[in-house]
Amino acid sequence: MQRTTLITGGAGFIGCHVAKALLDRGHRVRVLDSLIEQVHGGRGKPDRLDSRVEFIEGDVRDPVCVRQALVQVDHVVHLAAEVGVGQSMYAVDRYVSVNDLGTAVLFQELIDQPVKRVVVASSMSIYGEGLYRDTDGAVHEAVMRGPRTDAGWDPVSEVGGKLVPVPTPESKRPALASVYAITKYVQECLTLTLAPAYGMEGVALRLWNAYGPGQALSNPYTGVLAIFASRLQNGERPMVFEDGEQRRDFVHVEDVARAFVLALEHSKAAGQVYNVASGQDRSVNEVAVALARAMGRPELTPEITGKTRSGDIRHNIADIGKIQRELGFSVNRDFENDLVELAQWVALQQAEDRVQQASRELEMRGLVA
């Protein structure tokens, strides 16, 4: 019997790839998406959304739309969310409304129309700073950064000693450093609490930095690779906060999509939380230089601002052992080759560089120092 999966926010970057992956696995796919201007630029349903998808334009906060979208649905992938650490710190009501009220409305309707499994897109941002190890080998879980010191941007131990970032597993306690992180954690908690209470299964995927063709290049609050690509395409240097040596994990969107398929279909996934990443960390500077080279603009070196944004963390690298062991997840993509693919796609797009505007918005509110 063919399964029907609803993807909220499914016309977005990740949603389009998840939809295709599910269609290829034999699912019938329905998408509910409000097509917000910041992501979709007022262009309507994106061409990259597979023609086999049943599309409903509507807001996840609208009970009528959600009720309609859930008719005869077997599974839900919940991607609908406002995304952006910096913007969340001043668009507080908007982020809380879409992310948390939207999730509440979804589950209110699921009470009357339950499904087998709900997989929610959570975020690595809920960890705050990742795990660190000091020079004696002790692991530090609750690392908090204070103001920048003469020692540099990196956090230090309670006695001022050097800390080295190490992979962060799902067992690390949350340290919510932004409104965005708070809302993602609430989405996760609502899913893992309400799904089993009504006979459903809940799964949360904590996503690291997804990249690949189809990103919203004109959205200054999207993934850092898309922001850099937009700057480079417009002949501008990638703008890098702090000193650019902060480390991140970048995972291709096709690997992310496969993780969602596994989370929907694997029996062991029910009730679990998983990190979704590549398992390899890189500095932001490295990534900016590599992308400029792939786009044929190596002279556009990173513009180091020497400033930090409220809500940003220094290092957070992923431990993906759990999803590998339990669900058989593997990373199939190669970062360097993927940057060439991304550059070729970007060359065919038009992107409005709104990074300076976004930075001014943050500075006006005292969120950049």
By the 8 A CB rule, do 73 and 158 touch?
no
Provide the pLDDT for residue 84.
85
Alpha-carbon distance of 70 to 5, in angstroms, equals: 9
- Interhelix angle 335-346/224-233, rounded to 10 degrees, is 50
Cα 177 to the center of its chain, rounded Å: 15
| Separation between Cα atoms, residue 183 and residue 146, nearest integer Å | 23
- What is the pLDDT at residue 223? 72
Flag whether 155 is in a domain: yes
Q: Which positions ≥6 away from 289 have C-beta within 8 Å?
A: 298, 301, 302
- Look at residue 150 in the predicted model and tell me its pLDDT: 57
Q: How many domains does the chain have?
A: 1
Name which of 331, 251, 336 is nearest 286 in CA terms: 336
Question: Could you tell me if residue 168 is inside a domain?
Answer: yes
Query: From the first residue on, what is the mean pLDDT of each consecutive set of 10 residues in the chain (369 residues)?
Result: 92 95 96 83 74 95 98 98 89 96 98 98 96 93 72 82 94 94 98 98 97 77 78 89 91 97 97 97 93 92 86 90 98 90 84 62 64
Q: What is the CATH number of the domain that holds 64?
A: 3.40.50.720
Asked whether residue 369 is assigned to any structural domain, the reply reads no
Q: Determine the pLDDT at residue 161.
A: 85
Residue 335 lies in a domain: yes
Q: For residue 125, which of 225, 210, 216 has the smallest C-alpha distance?
A: 210
Would you say 91 and 22 are in contact if contact means Cβ atoms under 8 Å apart?
no
Instruction: Show the domain range for 214.
Output: 4-364
**Does residue 74 lie in a domain region?**
yes
Say if residues 184 and 125 touch (Cβ distance below 8 Å).
Answer: yes
Model confidence pTM above 0.85: yes
Residue 246 lies in a domain: yes
pLDDT of residue 318: 96
149-183 burial code (b ≥16 CB/10 A, e <16): eeeebbbbbeeeeebebebbebebeebbbbbbbbb
